[in-house]
Chains A and B, each alone.
Chain A
Amino acid sequence: MDWAVLWEYRAALAGGLAVTLEVSALAIVGATVVGVLVGCLRGTGSYLLQRLTATYTELLRNLPLIVKLFFLYFVIGLPALPAALAALVLHQSAYIADVTEAGLRSVGRGQLDAGLSLGLKRWQVYRRIILPQTVRVMLPPMTSQYVSVVKNTSVVALIGVTDLTFQTQQINVETFRGFEAATAVTLLYMLVAGVVIGGMTWLQRRQTVR
C-alpha cells in the first residue's frame, strides 16, 4: 500500500471533487425545480395533467440512469456536462415528483376547507397552512433523494466528465493504485453525502414546531 500516491494526485482529486460538487449542486437544484413542478401539476386534479405527469414519472423511473445519459450524449449528441446534468435531472425529478405528490396528499383536504371557512383567501391558505406542512413532510424523503443525486453523479464519469470516479479510474490506470484511490474517493463521497444530510437535518430542525 502506498498512500503517497494520493498526495501526488491531490490536484486531480481536488478537481474531481470540485466537478462532483458542481454537478451535484446543479442537479439537485434542477431536479427539485422540475420534480416539485411535476408533482404539483399532478396534484391539481386535472385528468390530462395527471396522465401526462404520471407518464413522465413512469417512463423515467423505469429506465436506468445510464440509458438516459447515453441517449442524451450519444444519440442526441449533447456535450458531456449538459448531457450529464439533464440525465440526472430527468432521473431524480421523477422520484421528487412522487415525493411532492405524496407530501401534498398527506396534508388532507380538511386543512384547505378549514382555512377557507376561517375567511382566508385561497392563496393565503396555501401560503400559510398547506405549504409549511407539506415542506415539513417532504424534507426527510428529500434528504435521501439528494443523497441519491450525489451518488448518481458517479455515473457521469462513463461519458468522460472528470469527476471523482473518473479520477479514480485515471489513478488506477496510471499507477495501479486503485485501492488507495478508491478508498480516498469513497470517503470523499461520504463526506459530500454527509454535508447534504447535515444541511437537510438543519433545515428539518428549523421547520420543527416547538
Chain B
Amino acid sequence: MNVQVWIWRWLVTVVLGFGAWVTARLDWSRVAPSWEFLLLALGRSWWLALIAMAIGIVTAVPLALLRVYGTPWPRRLVALLIDAVRATPELMIIFWVYFTLPIVTGSQVSAWNAALGSLAVIASAYLAEVVRAGLYSVPDTQREAARALGLKSFAVFRLVVLPQALRNMLPALIAQLVSLFKTTSLVYAIGVMDFFRAVSVTNNAVYAPYPLYIVLAAGYFVSCWAITQVVRRCDPAYQLLD
C-alpha cells in the first residue's frame, strides 16, 4: 500500500514535471498577444452556459410539474417533447434552431441568439428530468403528513415538497451545468465566437497548434473541474466517497 502511494506520487511528479517542461519550451510569443481575446471568449462560453442554464431552470420547473402532476394529455405531450429533445443530437438541435427556424418563421436569427436558444432548449429538457427526479425523491408520506396538518395543496408544494426536492436535486443540477458548458463548444459550428472558435481562429491567424491546444484543454478542464468541485462541496454522498 505504502509503496503504491510512493509510486503514485513519483508518477504524478514526473508527469507534471514533464508537462511543465514541455509547456515552458513551447514558443508562446505568437499566442501571448491574443490572451485577452481568448480570455474574453472563455468568458463568453461561461456566459452562454449560465444564461441558458437560467432560462432552462425557469422553463424546466413548469414542464416537470406538468409531467408529474398534470392531467394525462398535457402529461403525454410534455413527455413527448422532452424525450424528442433528449433523443436528438445536440449539434442537430443547434442546426435546427439556426438554419431551419428562419425558414419556418421567415425572420433571420443571429448566430448568438440561435446558440442561446438551442442551448436553452437542451437545458430545459434535461433539467425538466432532473426536477422530475427531485420531485419523486420526496416521499409521498411528506405530502400526506402536510395535508393531514391542514395545509392547502399549493402550500404543501411550496413549503414541504419543493424545499426538499431542491436540496435533493442540487448536485444533479450542477452536474447538468458541466454538461451544458461542454455543449457550448458545439456552437462553434454555427459561427459563434465561443472559446473553441476563438482558439481555432487564433490558430488560423498565428499557427501555433501546440500552445493553443494546451490553452484550449486547460480552459475547458479548469472550468468544468471547478463546477465539479462545487458539486462535491454540496453533495454529502460525494464527500462520503472521498
Contacts and interface: CB of A to CB of B under 8 A. Distances in A.
Interface of A: 46-48, 51-52, 58-59, 61-67, 70-71, 74-75, 147, 150-155, 157-158, 165, 168-169, 172, 178-179, 182-183, 185-186, 189-190, 193-194
Chain A interface main SS type? helix
B188 A193 contact: no
Given A52-B8, A154-B89, 9 more contacts: A47-B5, A62-B221, A64-B182, A66-B196, A67-B185, A150-B89, A151-B88, A151-B90, A189-B87
A179 B4 contact: no
A47 B8 contact: yes
A193 B92 CA distance: 14
Nearest to A58: B225
B209 A75 contact: yes
Nearest to A157: B91
A183 to B, nearest CB: 8
Contact of A189 (B4, B92, B196): B92
Contacts, number: 101
A29 to B, nearest CB: 20
B155 interface: no
The 4 closest A-B pairs by CB, nearest first: A154-B89, A62-B224, A64-B182, A179-B100
Nearest to B101: A179
A67 B224 CA distance: 13
Most buried by A among B103, B183, B188, B220: B103
A193 B87 contact: yes
Interface string B199-242: 01000000001100100110011001100100000000000000
A62 B225 contact: yes
Given A154-B89, A186-B88, A186-B92, A62 B213 contact: no
Interface string B1-35: 10011011000000000000000000000000000
Contacts of A58: 225
Given A47-B4, A51-B8, A64-B185, A169 B225 contact: no
Interface string B151-165: 000000000000000
Interface residues of B, number: 37
A141 B42 CA distance: 32
B95 interface: yes
A190 B216 CA distance: 32
Interface string B31-71: 00000000000000000000000000000000000000000
Given A59-B221, A62-B228, A190 B87 contact: yes
Interface in B84-106: 84, 87-92, 95-96, 99-100, 103-104
Contacts of A183: 100
Given A62-B225, A75-B210, A158-B189, A67 B91 contact: no
B91 A165 contact: yes
Contacts of B90: 151, 154
A67 B220 CA distance: 9
Contact of A165 (B1, B95, B188): B95
Contacts of A147: 87
Contacts of A155: 89, 91, 186
Given A74-B209, A157-B91, A190-B88, A182 B221 contact: no
B89 A152 contact: yes
Nearest to B15: A55
Contacts of B189: 158
B99 A178 contact: yes
A185 B224 CA distance: 31
A190 to B, nearest CB: 5
A182 B186 contact: no
Nearest to A191: B87
Contact of A48 (B8, B178, B200): B8
Contact of A67 (B4, B89, B196, B210): B196
Nearest to B213: A75
Contacts of A152: 89
A65 B88 contact: no
B54 to A, nearest CB: 21
